[in-house]
Amino acid sequence: MSCLYFGTDGIRGPYGGPVVNEAFAARLGAAAGRWLRRRAIPGSSPAIPMGRDTRASGESLERAFAAGLASEGWQAVLHGILPTPALSRAVAQSGSALGVVVTASHNPAGDNGIKLFGPGGRKLSEAQEAEIEALLAEEVPAAGVPGPAAGTLGRALEDYVAAASRVLPPGSLAGWRIVVDTANGAACATTPAVLRGLGAEVIGIGDGPDGTNINAGVGSEHPGRMAAAVKASGARLGVAHDGDGDRCVLSDENGDVLDGDEILTILAIHALGAGRLAARTLVVTVHSNGGVDAAIVAAGGRVARSPVGDRHVAERMVAEGATLGGESSGHVICSELCPTGDGLVAALKIAEVMIRTGRPLSELRRALRKFPQASSAVAVAVKRPLGSLPALGAAIRAVEAGMGAGGRVLVRYSGTEPKLRLLVEGPDAEAVRAGLVRLEAAARAELR
């Protein structure tokens, strides 16, 4: 089912544009309120938890959405700046039928967006998002913006910090030096606090949000500063989040960066060895490196693949009976702890493996031998159907033929940005790079 406004992970785009603005946020809030009333989930709370990241536009968009909810008889509970996984937890803990995060995740500060969560703190399905879109009215709801319910502001953040702090025993990180890059985003008040509370010395990067600097040369999209700081300071570990804290990219003690595929492989193989990987299955997306499959199968497990997007990962995890899954981008879902991607939990679980094995991250990462792979993104003005691009189609077929049975090509539009994403994987690194160049040239020629 296709949506007009919702993409892979909520709605997002330039703030002040045709979609991400206060008028649309109010309309969307009202539509969500109408949808909730029609669903009439028994026993659900009438209060709707809301959070946001550190973008300057966040507060006005949050209050506009809350006004839309109020026009349909729902009370928003505003928790202020809050990582996405903390909001997911708040929805689950409160028994609410809906939760809302105003964020554009890893996008630049000029963008913003809205993510919606349903009962249990799980992201809404595509079908549910389409149902809400169908209830969008043209007029802006005429309702005052309600204030937060008394006594609730900030509790979700405190509850999240307390829960994350219980992932490891007290004092587990005593003597550890950890570099933490919070992308000037929503995790600034959570990840450093948890790690310090467990005994670690924390060196902070990207921890001075000013409303305009989220993801600006820092965070999981730009892990170089974090990795360099790890090497320069002699830290044992580096952690980098995105703007809303649901991603995690790591650095080992040598300053070498680990992506989501490596994190997931380490966690899955350790769980397999301990007999604790549910269904002996790891769920990843079609974007993950083929080396993940080889490593997990060699360790006695299996890999299931989903479409790109941590929502699709979570849905496949439920279908497979799995409790571990994620994306190469750094979304890691440990569903026994959180139903959505949680960058802090992912870092804590890796620290747990390091503690239990007594091995540094530089050794643990050897569990994954990646197949040669190259990827890139081509900016587009309009997302034309791929079937209407003959030159690109011919290039895809030619590159696939050149890669042989051991290779693959993945071409898709981003669900969160105006970009065409290209990926080539095969047995030979030089052929992979050449294939990617060929795809880029064809895409630019037809999509310029």
- pLDDT, tens only, 301-328: 999 999 998 999 999 999 999 999 999 9
34 and 141, same structural domain? yes
265 and 402, same structural domain? no
25 and 115, same structural domain? yes
Mean pLDDT, range 429-436, rounded to an integer: 94
348 within a domain of the structure (yes/no): no
Residues near 354 by beta carbon (within 8 Å), at least 6 away in sequence: 236, 237, 360, 361, 364
C-alpha dist (Å) from residue 424 to 81, 366, 373 = 38, 22, 6
Which member of 88, 94, 96, 105 is catalytic? 105
357 within a domain of the structure (yes/no): no
Report whether 88 contacts 117 (CB < 8 A).
yes
Pairwise CA distance, residues 58 & 113, whole Å: 9
* 328 in catalytic set: no
Q: Find the domain containing 189 and state its range.
A: 170-258
CATH number assigned to the domain comprising residue 411: 3.30.310.50
**Which among 200, 231, 258 is the end of a domain?**
258
224-268: per-residue pLDDT in tens?
A: 999 999 999 999 999 999 999 999 999 999 999 999 999 999 999
139 and 119, same structural domain? yes
Report whether 10 contacts 20 (CB < 8 A).
no
Q: Domain total for the chain?
A: 4
- Specify the range with the lowest mean pLDDT, choosing from 106-115, 141-150, 159-168, 402-411: 141-150
Mean pLDDT, range 108-137, rounded to an integer: 95
237 and 185, same structural domain? yes
381 and 315, same structural domain? no
- Concatenated DSSP letters for 180-215? EE-TTSGGGGTHHHHHHHTT-EEEEES----SS-TT
60 within a domain of the structure (yes/no): yes
288 within a domain of the structure (yes/no): yes
Cross-strand partners of 413: 420
296 and 190, same structural domain? no
140 and 30, same structural domain? yes
**Which among 212, 235, 258 is the end of a domain?**
258
pLDDT bin (cut points 50, 70, 90) of residue 142 is low
Average pLDDT of the chain to the nearest whole number: 93
53 and 136, same structural domain? yes
Q: Can you say how many angstroms the Cα of residue 22 is from the centroid of all Cα atoms in its chain?
A: 24
> What is the pLDDT at residue 141?
76
pLDDT bin (cut points 50, 70, 90) of residue 1 is low
386 and 317, same structural domain? no
6 within a domain of the structure (yes/no): no
- Answer left, alpha or beta for residue 447, where phi above 0 means left and psi between -120 and 50 means alpha: alpha
